[in-house]
Amino acid sequence: MINPRQLAFIALRDVHKGAYADVALDRVLQKVDLADCDRRLVTELVYGSVRRQRTLDTLIDQLAKKKSHQQPQDLRIILHLGFYQLRYQERIPASAAVNTTVQLAKENGFSGLTGFVNGLLRQYLRKAERQGRRGAQAQGGTGAEEKDSLLLPQSPIPHFDPLQLPENPVERLGILHSFPDWIIQVWLEQLGLDDTEKLCEWMNQSPTIDLRINPLRTSIEEVEAALQSAGVLVKRIPHLPQALRFVGNTGSIQKLPGFKEGWWTIQDSSAQLVGHLLDPQPGEVVIDVCAAPGGKTTHIAELMGDSGKIWACDRTSSRLRKLQENSQRLNLQSIQIYTGDSRHFTQFQNTADQVLLDAPCSGLGTMHRHADARWRQTPKSVQELSVLQQELLTHTSNFVKPGGVLVYATCTLHPAENEQVISAFLAKSPDWQIESPKGLELPDSAQIAPQGWFKVWPHRQDMDGFFMVRLRKTNNSE
């Protein structure tokens, strides 16, 4: 019998050796034939343990004699899996979480340390129980009623928490919600304490999946009916005429009705907003300068009625293949693929009615989807990306005809990659100005900044974090 926790352990071992979490997970899942519930458990344990790494390490630091970084790497991973289940998995009984973790230690070379693993996890439970009793007595109860809920936690963060937190708000939020201090600091400066905490909580949720219907092949009503007949629940997303969000489990996306027929494609609702902000018209020439894997490119083609020409450029040919597959599946004819680095193209000078620069970025708005992004990015990598973004913006703005439009978008929430890039560009480009997004319907809680750019805050709009701005080139440009 295949053990889901053992598969999670194997994937996490690869992650700690440098593999991307989604790649490591796919690798183990492709080798086995698992029931859907077991696949979901492996996925939850891998992504959850990676997301919550800092919190789990802090628990080891506080409860064990040796700090987490001093533990053998494989043992540290096993302890992460145990603590993750105890702390965050409300459907797994505490006894099952402890026993399966002890078994994992036994099967992976730590037979002599099973007592240590068992003792450490039970110490966590005992502390939670003791604090629960104290809390109940302080409220005038006996504490007995808390015991079951502690052994089977009912909330992501138990009410009576053995985790000790520092007073400093940056460190406290960083440890409690498992983010590096520098990311917390960036958010605090923009949002303040309460909103930063809400954003942290949102980023630690399992991601939803949105789709975009292809109006050239079908209607939103037809897709809703087809999915409903297959027992798959979806709901509409306000202000986005092509968007549906899956509710609950879907099974394999590729097997759902309408996928092979090109009726729809997967695309987060924030990314769909970008296409509507660009607002391309039939017959125009549009250049998508960082196009792969093609979600926004194919959306542009749909919005143009597949009439006109879209140059889809990217320097990674393997990612462009995905774009080609998608455009063929959606039966789109207007997309021309061009491989290379857009910073070096000269042939597009003054040729485009519209340019989309969906810039390479740190992805700090999509960390719920990419569990390890918070540990891979650093202030230095953000700074390097901002240089790349400015180079791309400066060069590709030359592709736009006088009077044309460029939309700059990222899926990050870092000002160095967003507001500062645009401000620096406008300071040296007098023939460009920000244009207010007329006609773009935004969620009720969304606000366009006085400068004219727009930022999607996930905890307010319940979609990926994004920055987008529409720029117009004046007619008297050379």
For 153, residues 6+ apart whose C-beta sits below 8 A from its C-beta are 86, 87, 88, 89, 90, 94
Structural domains of the chain in order of their starting residue, each with its CATH number: 4-158+170-178 (1.10.940.10), 210-266 (3.30.70.1170), 276-473 (3.40.50.150)
Q: What mean pLDDT comes out for the span 125-136?
A: 71
Confidence of residue 444 (pLDDT cuts 50, 70, 90): low
Catalytic residue annotation? 411
User: What proportion of the chain, given as a percentage, has pLDDT over 70?
Assistant: 92
Given a contact cutoff of 8 angstroms between Cβ atoms, the answer to whether 275 and 300 are in contact is yes
Residue-level pLDDT at 150 = 40
pLDDT at position 478 over 80: no
pLDDT at position 138 over 80: no
Q: What mean pLDDT comes out for the span 402-426?
A: 97
Give backbone dihedrals phi and psi of 472, rounded to 5 degrees, phi first: -115, 135
For 155, residues 6+ apart whose C-beta sits below 8 A from its C-beta are 90
Confidence of residue 137 (pLDDT cuts 50, 70, 90): low
pLDDT tens readout for residues 179-208: 999 999 999 999 999 999 999 999 999 899
pLDDT at position 29 over 90: yes
pLDDT at position 148 over 80: no
Mean pLDDT of the chain, nearest integer:
91
CA distances from 281 to 1, 47, 273, 289 (A): 56, 41, 16, 18
Q: What mean pLDDT comes out for the span 313-331?
A: 92
User: What proportion of the chain, given as a percentage, has pLDDT over 90?
Assistant: 81
Q: What mean pLDDT comes out for the span 408-434?
A: 97
Q: What mean pLDDT comes out for the span 427-454?
A: 84
pLDDT tens readout for residues 214-273: 999 999 999 999 999 999 999 999 889 999 999 988 878 899 999 999 999 999 999 999
Q: What is the CA 69 to chain-centroid distance, rounded?
A: 27
